[in-house]
Structure 1
Amino acid sequence: MNNPLLEKFDTPFESAPFSKIKIEHYQPAFEQAIKEAKDEIDAIANNLNTPTFANTIEALELSGEKLSRVSSIFFNLNSAETSDEIQKIAQEISPLLSDFGNDVRLNEKLFQRIKTIYDQKDLLELSAEQAYLLEKKYKGFSRNGANLSDENKAKLREIDKELSRISLQFGQNVLAETNNYELHITNEDDLKGLPDYAIEQAKTDAEAKEKDGWIFTLQAPSYIPFLQYAENRSLREELFRASGRKAYQANEYNNEENIKAITKLRFERANLLGYKTHADYVLEERMAKTPDTVINFLNDLLVKAKPFAENEIKEIADLALKTDGIEKIERWDHGYYAEKLKQQKFNLSEEELKPYFQLENVIQGAFDVATKLFGITFKEINTIDKYNDEVTTYEVLDKNGNFLSLLYADFFPRAGKRPGAWMTSFREASNVNGNSIRPHVSIVCNFTKPTKDKPSLLTFQEVTTLFHEFGHALHGMLPNTTYESLSGTNVYWDFVELPSQFYENFCYEPEALALFAKHYETGEVIPQKLVEKVRNASSFMDGYQTVRQISFGLLDMAYHATDPSNITDLQTFEQKAFELTELYPIVPNNMMSTSFSHIFQGGYSSGYYSYKWAEVLDADAFAFFQETGIFNTETAQKYYILLSSGGTKDPMELYENFRGKKPSPDALLKRAGLILN
């Protein structure tokens, strides 16, 4: 059987030939690619020549190209276009990949060759990037069991295999629970307060299921507007509780035991490798370095933010009491009364804004901002194979017209797509020995779909989400680096959110909004008075949002910066972790942990604090642009160097080279309204 995954991609830009790839191709492709990668590793480890950077470190960097290609295609589709068959293959393949990873990291001959080079690094004439790669490869082995006894190496293999399996199961459970729930409304009175776009989408979703009435789901474009606008309080409560029950119900998708197993295995793994906790292990390779630094950072921010958050909640409670006689405000009331308060304070509503944010215009706006900053351009092309017809593809060119990257954009919810928004890649950049390979990057979101009568009109939150993911995409598309493992977003996890959060800032700037915020019917640029409303409202509820983000970071650290062996009741454990950040009454039989995919399936374990950490960086960085002009070419060029350097230098060194100084939290606190200007 010819297997397109194992052949050279004879396609434009060697892009993935999705239409030729069948389900039955994946398993044999993985097996063959793993075999070839093992042969490449054995050849390096058993090389009789004296270890050198080229025949060991660089050779290791270049090994496993086919396996990397197959893995990126498969696991990206498992997130964006999954099926029962793909999920089954993922469960079967993940242990094999875990075994292979450990076969490499625990290969004693290979490690000895790496160690020989590392021990004489000061005598070698390495470039700065080569020295950084050597450091990364050595740590990749020493931190992952290369110095363990054979007995403990065997234990590590079993732990990693089990972690791989359970983490996948966690994510599959969350997706199933998200897809399995619907709020089916047949009484039109229950739609009171909802904007037209939400009603139209709910009607479309009902028709797709051949049902009368309207269907609301736990997908963000459906869930968020309902909580914001629906006057029917009992239905808001029902939808909120349904979200909080995800993977926390007495059924086959319950994630409680998965969480206990994941945290215990991570703790055991860290201990085996000589670390006190999983957080100690992870943070050694982060800007923060230690759990104490993270916890102190979050708690210091909490002290500043909580009084503002409490005042915001009091304002909401007063409004609820005054307008509707509600004496005890609940969590499902927050979005509804916050929206009313926002309209009252700023005379601003999503309904007023949405006509100016047609999806196609917003993505073009993200492109236009990048063009003004860096001179790069984007051209939609129709010759690239796609994994779904809803995907749009673009050729990205540098200021001289040279090919930079492919960009895939996938914007709407589907049954086979996990919730949320993310950036990923099908191929990363490298340039070893003049063989220039440019990246293939993808942004995946779950935005409001177009209806029969209207195009996709985004909420302002969706606009900032698109800019956020596009900021990640720029990081992935612009590398000027030699080695793949140091390119693009291959940086410390508490640095990786800087480019994404930085790019969100342009959504509030009149000069940037004028590029894309145009009425979908008239073409009128968003009026200046609306821009001012957006800017004035930009820090609305920032105290509450800051405390909420801190609560997630503290929950993450509660699981990973201590011994989790004694956790029995997850809800009690979660409530204790949230104790200092609670602003609303606790909701029984609801839990956040069981659907906290960032830390139990994604790569953010002991790293959720990164969002707030990076906000300090992004606010400080954008303040520099505001000082010099948001499209100042000299400032943009300095920032381009930061982006294109990937992980070739220490992130703080990169940041200081760009900014000329260390980051200050003052810009973030001012932007959030947590200190006076």
Structure 2
Amino acid sequence: MNIKNKITKKATFGLIVALTISSCAEKNENVETETKNETSNVLLQEWTGPYGGVPAFDKMRIADAQAAIEKGMEQSLAEIDAIASNPAPPTFENTIEAMEKSGKTLDRAFTYYGIWSSNMSSPEFREIQQDLAPKISEFRSKVSQNEQLFERVKTVYESSLKDSLPADQQRVVQLVYENFAMEGAALDEEKKKRYAAINKELSKLYTEFSNNVLADEEGYVTLLEKDQLGGLSDGLIKAYAKAAEDRGHTGKYAITNTRSSMDPFLTYSTERDLREKVWKTYYSRGDNGDDHDNNEIIAKILKLRKERVGLLGYDNYAQWRLQNRMAKTPENAMELMNAVWPAAIARVKEEVKDMQAVANSSKDNITIEPWDYRYYAEKVRKKKYDLDSDEVKQYLQLDKLTEAMFFVAGELFNFNFAPLEKGKVPVFHEDVNVWEVTDKTSGKVIGLWYLDPYARPGKRSGAWATTYRSYTSFEGEKTVLASNNSNFVKPAPGEPLLVSWDDATTFFHEFGHALHFFASNVKYPTLNGGVRDYTEFQSQLLERWLSTDKVINTYLVHQETGEPMPKELVQKIKNASTFNQGFGTTEYLASALIDMKLHLADPEKIDVDAFERETLAAMKMPKELVMRHRTPHFGHVFSGEGYATAYYGYMWADVLTADAAEAFAEAPDGFYDKEVAAKLVNYLFAPRNAMDPAEAYRKFRGRDANIEALMRDRGFPIPKK
């Protein structure tokens, strides 16, 4: 995801390959016959209706959740046992392909479960989560440590090394085998038991961590009076009034404890004491020394992770995690981050110097603190580039940005997006809208795109994409059901939703993930997975189309006049494209470096709060800003394992992004060059994980990417070799 905004998307639970929680993980296809005992539970039923069947979101009930997951796990284990005990010699068809077909009932149940977890959480559901977490972990261990099953997989894998299978089958076998090996399938019985016990304990801790963060996001709201709104735009004031009214505080204005609410307040509010309060409230999530404090939970997670990988012979968690990533080793990941870090913090010093000069000239009599950074950065932006972020927002309407994304999808992927009438397919909340996605030339239905744009209580913060059903073809072609989820502050009735340039960039970013889902052309479900430090690349690349002339001139129009963004304003935006890169890069990299260093450190008797503080000091972290995700609320890393020791992946992917963007910039027709776009789709989107990422990139670019493009992109000096 975006270095500027990354909260992970929903975790899904595949039976075999997705054995670790992954924010960008994929759902398998979801059609099979149910037994009579299961048909009474909607969450287990086959999906019916148009588009190859759709989730019955309008009929989902929390009361059915636990029984559905437990029944789904029971059925899945029976399917796995049948595969494992098959008396016939192991083959790709009766072992690997049979595994690919299994688990559909459970997948259906987890689709609904994921909605409650990410979009519609409640105290009632969190109790169910706490109870189910260890049971889900135990289920996964029963699959990954099934000795008979692993022996069959191993036999097929070793046979494939002697007599190669077709390329896609070879890739599936490799991925499945490696995943079993990473999950302890080859351990002796005693170590397997301990491995499973650790996973069970970790599952409880991950759920507790997530719920603590959500509790602090819901539990802390800063209420303002009418005389405390200095510097805020009318649209923002109305949105804050709506947020207060929704929480029973009519006549007041609410800053909720989420980034989408906090960020604009810190950028524009003239009330410094309130900026400090809002800043501290946001960055202390999970770190308030109360029942929702996460520091001890993190310490336990770190110890258990190190012990678990020690059973497999690894020195630390990072070695285990990165072995099948593009970086391969923690040393390679650290090398990239350490190459960029000095330039980033040096740029912060320049930015702070500029901000302090503005503060001094205004006789504000302050020294820049973290709650001042956004506010004075905005003043510097106006002074240095004559660029007013609030002026830019007037041209960034969410509905027009959505149209712009559809235009880009049509130009690059030949996709058409047509809105469905309300009620044609079920949705889980009235704010969700759905579009039909088709091929523009043939009219073939690709799938459905669900959009859930607004923040609300019970919805986790940030922005993410996920699938309810991914494309596969080995049992007949399946339509894709994909969604994007954001946390924009819902505007007052009748008001347009205007967003910042950064938020617009993130919107395009998440849509890039959705396009990756829709463009998939793989046969087997396992191939819809991804390599963590590669899967963000495609979405980061799509951000670049926001600033193309065709998008700006057609879709970035003034919310009142309908006039396109003036060329002068466009030029100001381009002139300021590397503005504040010190802040953006440093706050991101600090989080990525702490993630890696925590997992390389000895976790015995670790004081998480002190480790964060002392490590940042040793890194010479500028005092004027903090990590983008402080450790106590670093959900990417401690609410699951998808980004653990892998948060660096955004920068790894951004090296690819900057390099690929130069390929388009150099093409005859720029970012809309048909030849380069075809390579983009064929090599970087359609194969998903059916091809080694490094090989796929070389097919697109003709060579490997290098760091120089990234440094040029950010306006940093290129490090000497």
Report the TM-score range of the alignment, normalised by the length of the smaller protein.
Answer: over 0.9
SS, match of residue 161 in structure 1: helix
Q: For the structure 1 residues 581 and 443, does the alpha-carbon distance in structure 2 shift closer, same or farther, using more than 3 Å as the test?
A: farther
Match for residue 593 of structure 1 among 598, 612, 631? 631
Q: Does the C-alpha gap of structure 1 residues 114 and 452 become closer, same or farther in structure 2, counting only changes over 3 Å?
A: closer
514-523 or 260-269, larger mean C-alpha shift: 514-523
Structure with higher RCO (Cα < 8 A, 6+ apart): 2
Letter in 1 for 2:91: T
Map 1:220-619 → 2, pairs under 5 A = 220-382=259-421, 383-399=424-440, 400-433=442-475, 435-487=476-528, 490-568=529-607, 570-579=608-617, 580-584=619-623, 592-602=630-640, 603-619=642-658
Task: Go from structure 1 to structure 2 and tell me whether the alpha carbon gap of 1:299 and 1:676 turns closer, same or farther (over 3 Å shift).
Answer: closer
- Alignment match, 1:655: 697
In structure 1, how many angstroms separate the alpha carbons of the residues matched to 2:427 and 2:215? 25
Whole-Å Cα distance in 2 between the matches of residues 149 and 420 of structure 1?
Answer: 41
Matched, 1:109 2:151: no
Aligned 8 A contact 1:177 1:253 in 2: yes
Number of the residue aligned with 1:207 = 245
Aligned residue type for 1:614:
A
Q: Following the alignment from structure 1 to structure 2, what is the Cα–Cα distance between the partners of residues 468 and 16?
A: 25
Deviates more, 1:313-322 or 1:220-229: 313-322
Asked whether the 8 Å contact 2:373–2:625 carries over to 1, the reply is no
Q: Deviations over 1:79-100 (max 9, x none)?
A: 1111112211122222222111
Alignment partners' CA distance in 1, 2:415 and 2:43: 31
Higher mean Cα deviation, 571-580 or 382-391? 571-580
C-alpha displacement of 1:125: 4.5
Alignment of 1:67-82 (within 5 A): 67-82=106-121
Q: 1:455 to 1:125 in 2, by over 3 A?
A: same
Within 2, Cα distance between the matches of 1:258 and 1:11? 44
SS for the counterpart of 2:417 is strand
Shift of 1:66: 1.3
Instruction: Pick from 135, 152, 160 the counterpart of residue 199 of structure 2.
Output: 160
1:245/1:591 contact within 8 Å kept: no
Q: For residue 337 of structure 2, what is the amino acid of its counterpart?
A: L
Q: SS in structure 2 opposite 1:671?
A: helix
Q: Give the residue type in structure 2 aligned to 1:600.
A: F
Q: CA deviation at 1:394?
A: 0.9
Cα distance, 1:73 vs structure 2: 2.3
Q: Deviations over 1:209-261 (max 9, x none)?
A: 23322221222232111101111111111111111221111321111111111
Q: Distance in 2 between matches of 1:401 and 1:159?
A: 50
Code of the residue aligned with 1:98 in structure 2: it is S
- Equivalent position of 1:21 in the other structure: 60
Superimposed CA distance per residue, residues 111-167 of structure 1 (whole angstroms, 9 cap, x where no aligned partner) = 111111111213435111110110111111111111111111111111111111111
Contact 2:490 2:497 in 1 (8 A): yes
The 1:527–1:586 alpha-carbon spacing in structure 2 relative to 1, beyond 3 Å, is closer
Mapped partners of 1:572, 1:586: distance in 2: 17
* 1:658-673 mapped onto 2 (5 Å cutoff): 658-673=700-715
Aligned: 1:33 with 2:72: yes
Q: What's the offset of the Cα at 1:280? A: 0.6
Quote the Cα distance in structure 2 between the aligned partners of 1:196 and 1:214.
12
Q: CA deviation at 1:581?
A: 4.6
Tell me the CA shift for residue 554 of structure 1: 0.7
| Stretch moving more, 283-292 or 199-208 | 199-208
CA contact (8 A) 1:173 1:254 kept: yes
CA spacing shift, 1:536–1:459, aligned 2, 3 Å: same
Is 1:674 aligned with 2:716?
A: yes
In 1, the alpha carbon distance for the partners of 2:605 and 2:335 equals 24
Please report how far the alpha carbon of residue 356 of structure 1 lies from its aligned counterpart in structure 2 after TM superposition: 1.2
Q: Is 2:175 the partner of 1:136?
A: yes
Structure 2 counterpart of 1:94: 133
CA distance in 1, matches of 2:704, 2:678: 19
The separation in 2 between residues aligned to 1:73 and 1:640, in whole angstroms, is 31
How far does residue 407 in structure 1 lie from its aligned partner after superposition? 0.9
Q: Which amino acid aligns with 1:475?
A: H
8 Å Cα contact 1:206-1:214 kept in structure 2: yes
Query: Which amino acid is 2:603 matched to?
Result: P
Provide the secondary structure at the position in 1 that maps to 2:348. helix
- In structure 2, stretches of 5+ residues that fail to align are 1-38
* Counterpart in the other structure of 2:660: 621
Cα distance in structure 2, aligned partners of 1:545 and 1:250: 29
- Is this contact kept in 1: 2:241–2:250, CA < 8 A? no
Deviation at 1:591, TM superposition (A): 8.8
Number of equivalent positions: 671
Give TM-score, length-normalised by structure 1: 0.96
Report the alpha carbon displacement of residue 676 of structure 1 after superposing the two structures with TM. 8.0
In structure 2, the CA distance between the partners of 1:453 and 1:392, relative to structure 1 (3 Å rule), is closer
1:445 counterpart SS class: strand
| Structure 1 position 499, deviation (Å) | 1.0
**Aligned with 1:544: secondary structure?**
helix
Q: In angstroms, what is the RMSD of aligned CA positions?
A: 1.8
Residue aligned with 1:404, SS: strand
Separation of aligned partners in 2, 1:474 and 1:124: 35
Q: Deviations over 1:388-414 (max 9, x none)?
A: 000011111123211112111011100
d(CA) in 2 for partners of 1:312, 1:459: 20
Cα deviation, 1:493-542, whole Å, max 9, x if unaligned, reads 00011011101111222222223111222221111111111111111011
Instruction: Read off the aligned partner of 2:507 and give its amino acid letter.
Output: L
Q: Given residue 637 of structure 1, which amino acid in structure 2 is its aligned partner?
A: A
Please tell me whether the aligned partners of residues 368 and 515 of structure 1 are also in contact (alpha carbons under 8 angstroms): no
* Shift in alpha-carbon separation, 1:637–1:185, aligned structure 2, 3 A: same
Gaps of 5+ in 1: none
Counterpart Cα distance in 1 of 2:706 and 2:521: 28
Query: What per-residue deviation string (whole Å, max 9, x for no partner) do you get for residues 168-227 of structure 1?
Result: 1111111110111111112x3321111222211111222222332222122223211110
What is residue 99 of structure 2 aligned with on the other side? Answer: 60
Deviation sequence 1:259-298 (CA, Å, 0-9, x none): 1111111111111121111111100011001111111211
User: Match of 2:359, SS?
Assistant: helix
Report the AA paired with residue 575 of structure 1.
Answer: R
